[in-house]
Structure formats: C-alpha cells, structure tokens
Chains A and B, each alone.
Chain A
C-alpha cells in the first residue's frame, strides 16, 4: 500500500490549489479515503472524507471552500482548495485509515 501526495506549495490568500494523492498496492475504488492536515507544530485536524461510492463529508472549517473527489480509473484522490486563508497553512495527508501518505505542505501567505 502506498499513498503519495503532490500539488502543494506557496499560494496567496484567496487563491486556489489542487492536491492529488496517488494510490497503489490496493483496490482504491473499494475504500473510503480521508484528507487530514497538521498546522506547523500543531496536532492533527480531520478535513474531509469520501466514501467508496463518492459520498462526501467535510469539517466545518473547510465546508464550502474545499472539495474532495476521486478518480478510480486513475487511482487518485483529490482535494480542491479554494478561497485559501492563512490558517489553512499545514501539511496535508491523505489516508486510507490504516495507511497515511507522507504529506504535502501548503503555505498560504502573501
């Protein structure tokens, strides 16, 4: 099982970014997947979940701004981040539950 995030970087407040998580080593389409973030020096903060049937749930802090999606043909999970705020600065992890990726850094700053 391997999960590899990409797409992070430095972005200005109010702008957008799209994160990807490439999955391998398991039947991706059969699993619900999460995005979880960790602000610098802080604890873990659950962000969003997508079920195997593509039902979605979001944390209140990101509802209406972030969109989780999946492409089962590409074995890839996505997180679209819109209207970014400084408080969204964090390492973003994708996770299957029992497996986590290495994370990707998103920095929101002018």
Chain B
C-alpha cells in the first residue's frame, strides 16, 4: 500500500499568517492517464471531512483562493495564506492513484 507521510502533526498559527503542510508518498502518484490523484481535505471540529483540493492543485467549488496545492510525483504541499478562524481543524491528504486509497495521518491546525 502507498504510505502517505504528512507533516507536521500539528500547527498553531495566528490569524493572518500563512502555513504549509507537507505530504510525501512512498510511490509516485502519477497515474497511467498522466493525472496525479492527490487530494486535500479539511475536517472541521465535529464535522465530516470536506474536500478542498483535488488533482494536486484544483480547488473545489466554494473553496477560498487562500488555499493552494502544489507538488508532483511524491512530494506535495498545501498552503493556506492569511489563515482565518474558520480554517481550524484537521487537514488530511488522500491519494487516489493506487488501490487501496490511503490517507495521511492528519495535521491539526489550531488558531493562536
């Protein structure tokens, strides 16, 4: 199975600051169709997860452009610019290239 190594496990940031979360895969996530199926999700406290970004850098509808995704092959980053209070929660990366799909272990974002 593809192992997704997500760091850091937690972050504490002030409103307005920027943060980055890393996700590294044990195998290349480039699929046979040349797409890279790396997603980022946010689970806000007490809520079900919500997908923010798919295929490395494509924002889901309604997701603020303060969120951005980048990376390739085995190394991916989620960046949140100008953090807002509503951004708190646990962020997960998810690879959908190889079966079984696998999640990172999560990064808990707290607001100072």
On chain B, the residues within 8 Å of A25 by CB distance are none
Query: Contact at B48–A43, with CB atoms within 8 Å?
Result: no
CA of A44 to CA of B67, assembled, Å: 21
Q: List B57-96 residues whose CB lies under 8 Å from chain A.
A: 60, 90, 92, 94, 96
With A59-B100, A98-B60, A100-B48 already in contact, the answer to whether A43 and B54 are too (CB < 8 A) is no
A78 within 8 A of B: no
Nearest Cβ on chain A to B39's Cβ, whole angstroms: 8
On chain B, the residues within 8 Å of A40 by CB distance are none
Nearest Cβ on chain B to A50's Cβ, whole angstroms: 13
Tally of A-B Cβ pairs under 8 angstroms: 45
Nearest Cβ on chain A to B57's Cβ, whole angstroms: 15
Query: Contact at A46–B102, with CB atoms within 8 Å?
Result: yes
On chain B, the residues within 8 Å of A59 by CB distance are 100
Query: Contact at A43–B103, with CB atoms within 8 Å?
Result: yes
CA of A101 to CA of B50, assembled, Å: 10
What 0/1 pattern do residues 47 to 58 of A give for CB contact below 8 A with B?
001000000011
Nearest Cβ on chain B to A54's Cβ, whole angstroms: 16
On chain B, the residues within 8 Å of A103 by CB distance are 48
Nearest B residue to A99 via CB reads B51
* A: interface residue count bin: 10 to 19
CA of A57 to CA of B102, assembled, Å: 13
CA of A103 to CA of B46, assembled, Å: 11
With A43-B92, A44-B92 already in contact, the answer to whether A102 and B100 are too (CB < 8 A) is no
Query: Contact at B100–A43, with CB atoms within 8 Å?
Result: no
CA of A49 to CA of B48, assembled, Å: 18
Query: Contact at B103–A100, with CB atoms within 8 Å?
Result: no
Nearest Cβ on chain A to B47's Cβ, whole angstroms: 8
What 0/1 pattern do residues 90 to 112 of B give for CB contact below 8 A with A?
10101010011111111000000
Q: Mark A residues whose CB is within 8 Å of B.
A: 34, 43-46, 49, 57-60, 93, 95, 97-103
Known: A95-B49, A100-B49. 7 other contacts (CB 8 A): A43-B103, A44-B49, A46-B102, A93-B48, A97-B54, A98-B51, A98-B60
